[in-house]
Chain A
């Protein structure tokens, strides 16, 4: 069955430290992978998607089909990056499922 795994429930770093939020997926075909972010008291919103191959707010993510991973990285964390991050998988044209989420805490 299709699944998204985020092994860390909580990741705490200090401002300026590098950040890597891990995401692994299980799907045998050609998936679409996304990172969604939920800031405190805000709605869930897209951070980035693998087909765009762009950097948003300093975050990047590379799809590694061999390792079935889509880890989210940022070289220098900022306090405003503190939020809940969900890795998501889409296939076909309709289904979109989420991983368990990682809460990122960035301390000053």
Chain B
């Protein structure tokens, strides 16, 4: 299984709602990523988990809260979002292979989030 699975595919939420995005991989990868991608823009790195610990937070607002409950799962908890947070949220995973190298990053299809 070389897939990264994201649910839901689409999500519409109000500014006062709390919702979560989920990501799952069964490739044994120990690095997992959240990216945000606006229309016609490249993916922007938000968070990286390495061996289930948060290793990188790219100064993301606290209304986005990541969680890595185990090596296969990655969540992104959303609360009090703004309309400008509407975007495609991508999850990815990869694995360090030693000597500073890593496998390629495998990406999910993304969750298209609309904040109303």
Cβ contact within 8 Å between B101 and A34:
no
In the complex, chain A residues whose CB is within 8 Å of the CB of B56: 94-95
B26: shortest Cβ distance to chain A, in Å?
16
Q: Is A49 an interface residue (CB 8 A)?
A: yes
Cβ contact within 8 Å between A46 and B100:
no
Interface residue count for A (Cβ, 8 Å)? 21
Cβ contact within 8 Å between B107 and A43:
yes
Cβ contact within 8 Å between A93 and B100:
yes
B105: shortest Cβ distance to chain A, in Å?
6
State A90–B42 Cα separation when bound (angstroms): 15
Please list the residues of chain B having a beta carbon within 8 angstroms of any beta carbon in chain A.
Answer: 31, 33, 41-45, 48, 50, 55-56, 90, 92, 94, 96, 100-102, 104-110
Q: Other than the known A51-B101, A94-B48, A96-B94, what 7 A-B pairs have Cβ atoms closer than 8 Å?
A: A43-B110, A44-B92, A44-B107, A45-B107, A86-B42, A94-B56, A99-B42
